[in-house]
Amino acid sequence: MSKLIDKYNRRGVRTSYVSTVVGISLVLFMIGLVLGGVFGLDNVQRQAKESLQGDLFFMPENSEADIKLIEQKMKSWDELKEVSFVSPERAIEAFSSDEQNSEEILSIFEGENPLPPTISFRPKEAYANLEGMNHIVNRIMTEFPNEIDEVNYDKSSVQSVNLGFKQFVFLFLVVALLLIIVAVAMINNTIRLALYSKRFTIKTMQLVGATSSFIRKPFLYQSILQGIVSAILGMALMVTLFYAFNNFLETIEISFDPYTFAFIFGSLLVIGVIITFVSTYFALNKYLRMKLDDLY
C-alpha cells in the first residue's frame, strides 16, 4: 500500500511540475509575442518606409550615358537605399496595363516612345519622411543643377506612412503593457497554486526542525529550472508562430536578425527566471509564517 501511495505522490508531483511549466510557457509565449511584435512592427515599418519612391527627370540634352553616370554617383550616397536607371523601354512596359501592352501605346504615338529615361530612388528609413526627402531633393538639385529638370515623389504617401505607424505603435504599446501586466499576474498565480498543494510538506519540514533557508533552497532551485524550461518552450512556440505567418503572408516578411532573436530569448529567460523565483520566494514565506491550523 505504501508503495502505491508513493507512486501516486510522485505522479502527482510530476503532473504538478508539468502543468506549472506549461502554464508559465504559455504566459512567456504571450510576452514573447509582445516583444516579437515590437521588433516585427519595426521591421514592417522599415519595409514600408523604404518602399517609398522618388523619380528624377532630366533635361532633354542629357544622354543615357550622362544619366547612368549620375546613377553611379547617387548609389554611393548614405541617404539612399536603392538607385536604379529606368530606360524608356522599361518605363513604357511599367506604364502599360494588362489590357494595353507597350506596342499598342507606341502605336498611338506613331512608334515613338514619349517617356524619357529617368532615375528612381528609394530612401533609407531615417530619410523616409518629409524632412529627409527634402534633404535628398536639395542635395540632388545642388549637385546636379544643370542636369535635373524635376524631382518627383508622393508627399501624401510619405506623410501617411509615418503618421499611420506612429498611431499604431502607440496603440500597440498600450496593449502590450496591459498584456505583460496580466501575464506577470498569471505566472505569480500559477506558482502560488503549485505551492499551495505542497503547503503541508513545507510545514512538516518546518515542524521537524528544518530551517527556512533549507526549505526554500530546493523550491527556489526548481523555480529557476522552471523559468529556464518555460522560456525555451515559450520561445519555440513564438518562432513556430512567426514561421507560420511568413508562410501565409506574401507581401510582408517578419524576420529577426540573430541579435534580435538573442535579445528576445534572453528577455524571456530573464523574465521567466525572475518572476518564478520571486513568486516562489514570497509564496514560501507565506506558508512558512502560517500556523498549522491556518493551512486547512
pLDDT-derived band of residue 1, with 50, 70 and 90 as boundaries? very low
Predicted local confidence at residue 164, as pLDDT: 61
27-36, 206-215, 222-231, 246-255: which has the minimum mean pLDDT?
A: 246-255
pTM, two decimal places: 0.60
Predicted local confidence at residue 138, as pLDDT: 92
Domain ranges across the chain? 2-48+161-295, 53-153
Strand intervals (E) in 29-166: 54-58, 80-86, 118-123, 148-153
Element (H, E) at 220: helix 212-248
Q: To the nearest 10°, the Cα dihedral for 171, 174, 175, 177?
A: 150
pLDDT-derived band of residue 98, with 50, 70 and 90 as boundaries? very low
Name residue 265's amino acid: F
pLDDT-derived band of residue 8, with 50, 70 and 90 as boundaries? very low
**Three-state SS for 135?**
helix
Domain spanning 53-153: which CATH class is it, in words?
A: alpha beta
Predicted local confidence at residue 91, as pLDDT: 61
In the chain, what percentage of residues exceed pLDDT 90? 3
Q: Is the dihedral of CA 130, 131, 132, 137 positive or negative?
A: positive
Q: Is 111 left (phi over 0), alpha (psi -120 to 50) or beta?
A: left
Say how far apart CA 148 and CA 14 lie, in whole Å. Answer: 74
Q: In what order do the strands lie in the sheet with 148-153?
A: 80-86, 118-123, 54-58, 148-153
Predicted local confidence at residue 203, as pLDDT: 73
Residue 4 confidence (pLDDT) above 70:
no
pLDDT-derived band of residue 16, with 50, 70 and 90 as boundaries? low
Predicted local confidence at residue 156, as pLDDT: 82
For residue range 133-156, what is the model confidence (pLDDT) as tens digits?
A: 899 999 999 988 888 888 888 888
Q: In the Cβ-directed half-sphere of 243, how many Cα atoms lie within 13 Å?
A: 6
What is the mean pLDDT of the segment spanning 10-35?
71
What is the mean pLDDT of the segment spanning 7-26?
62
User: For strand 54-58 and strand 148-153, is the pairing parallel, antiparallel, or unpaired?
Assistant: antiparallel
pLDDT-derived band of residue 208, with 50, 70 and 90 as boundaries? confident
Q: Helix axis angle, 199-207 relative to 258-289, nearest 10°?
A: 60
Question: If we measure between CA atoms, which residue out of 165, 170, 159, 83 comes closest to residue 128?
Answer: 159
117-126, 141-150, 245-254, 262-271: which has the minimum mean pLDDT?
A: 245-254
pLDDT-derived band of residue 107, with 50, 70 and 90 as boundaries? low
What is the mean pLDDT of the segment spanning 200-217?
78
What residue has cell string 511599367? 94
User: For strand 118-123 and strand 148-153, is the pairing parallel, antiparallel, or unpaired?
Assistant: unpaired
Residue 51 confidence (pLDDT) above 70:
yes
80-84, 107-111, 278-282: which has the minimum mean pLDDT?
A: 107-111
Predicted local confidence at residue 249, as pLDDT: 61
Predicted local confidence at residue 126, as pLDDT: 84
Residue 281 confidence (pLDDT) above 50:
yes
Is 187 or 63 the better-scoring residue by pLDDT? 63
Say how far apart CA 246 and CA 252 lie, in whole Å. Answer: 8
Residue 217 confidence (pLDDT) above 70:
yes
